[in-house]
């Protein structure tokens, strides 16, 4: 599935991923390839990706490795998954 992480300043990531975990307002949840459509509000926490994702040079410093995942901390945002494309708008 295609993932885009977008902040008001820049597109942080736009790449293919096999899974993504996010901090939803009712707890963390994970989406895999061909997941059912989702729209949700996100809270303070980390977006977690597989280590196989090729991060752009401009965003590598924003991610850190923890528990065999690439993590990106957010303070909140909104996620939409539709037609195997995930868009995460962060604060």
**Per residue in 8-66, pLDDT tens?**
999 999 999 999 999 999 999 999 999 999 999 999 999 999 988 989 898 999 999 99
CATH of the domain at 49: 2.60.15.10
pLDDT tens column, 28-42? 999 999 999 999 999
Question: How many domains are contained in the chain?
Answer: 1
Question: pLDDT-derived band of residue 74, with 50, 70 and 90 as boundaries?
Answer: very high
Compute the C-alpha angle 73/6/69, nearest 5°: 40
Instruction: Give residue 52's pLDDT.
Output: 86
Question: What phi and psi, each to the nearest 5 degrees, are found at residue 11?
Answer: -90, 115
For the chain, helix (H) and strand (E) counts, in that order, are 0, 10
State which residues form the domain around 72. Answer: 2-90
Assess contact for 71 and 53: CB atoms under 8 A: no
């Amino acid at each position: 599935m295609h993932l885009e992480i977008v902040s008001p300043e820049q597109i942080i990531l736009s790449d293919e991923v096999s899974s993504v975990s996010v901090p939803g307002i009712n707890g963390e949840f994970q989406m895999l390839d061909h997941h059912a459509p989702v729209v949700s509000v996100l809270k303070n926490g980390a977006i977690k990706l597989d280590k196989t994702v090729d991060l752009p040079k401009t965003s590598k410093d924003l991610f850190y490795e923890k528990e065999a995942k690439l993590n990106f901390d957010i303070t909140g945002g909104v996620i939409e998954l539709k037609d195997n494309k995930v868009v995460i708008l962060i604060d």
